[in-house]
Amino acid sequence: MTTRIGVIADTHCPEFLDRLPERVFTALQGVELILHAGDITATPTLDALASIAPVEAVRGDHDTNLESLPSARELTVAGKRIVLVHGQRPRWVEESQTFWWTVSLGFFKPHRGLPASLKLRFRHADVIVFGHTHRAYVRKVDGTLLFNPGGVHQWNPTTATRRLAQHPGWFEWCWLQVARHMRRYESPSVGILEIDEDGILPRIIGL
């Protein structure tokens, strides 16, 4: 018997997206559980996902209105120990990483040490699901699968220009003036975990 789990992160809805793209619902159709790895920004996003399957979620650094959510969850699904966490680190680390990613117009890859730090923190997990980086990641380290489904919302010239039209605050406006010239950026995506007697099969699904 195979258990299918939908994995999603960094929806930023309605913060940066008015609503979840229809492609999300198509990609996650038929899953038995949905894991949201944070940066949700509003309860209606979780309600929309719950129309597909039950949802477990954690709080990200943009989820100031969702304080009832934990910063990490540990679940057992089909006999596998799954940790769900967003993945943000101290502000001084985050801001320096964001600075270099922005001024490099997307060529610098931030958060390179994040998977290793999560593995050290959750040593006994079979799967660590995380978000925050907006970049898909699939790797097995010492028997633990580290899985990031990528972000539903992605910064690129189109999304940066659209955000500028919404008249953000001055600090974000300054950042967006650079971000709208991005030359390298990720495509939106979600993930699927299939668990059966043979193990765990991870998949990234582009939107």
Domains parsed from the chain with CATH numbers: 3-206 (3.60.21.10)
H or E element: which one contains 193? strand 189-196
Which residue in 76, 61, 88, 67 sits closest to 148, CA to CA? 88
Q: What's the pTM?
A: 0.92
Residue 132 Rama label (left phi>0; alpha psi -120 to 50; beta): left
What percent of the chain is predicted at pLDDT more than 90? Answer: 72
- Across the range 132-153, mean pLDDT stands at 96
- Pairing mode, strands 199-206 and 189-196: antiparallel
Condensed to tens digits (0 to 9), the pLDDT of residues 189-207 reads 999 999 999 999 999 999 9
Condensed to tens digits (0 to 9), the pLDDT of residues 159-186 reads 989 888 888 888 788 778 888 888 888 9
Is the sign of the CA dihedral 25, 30, 34, 37 positive or negative? negative
Q: Percent helix, strand and coil across the chain, each rounded to 5?
A: 25, 25, 45
CA-CA-CA-CA dihedral for 180, 156, 40, 32, to nearest 10: 170
pLDDT tier, 92 (very low <50, low <70, confident <90, very high otherwise): low
Angle between helices 91-103 and 170-179 (to 10 degrees): 40
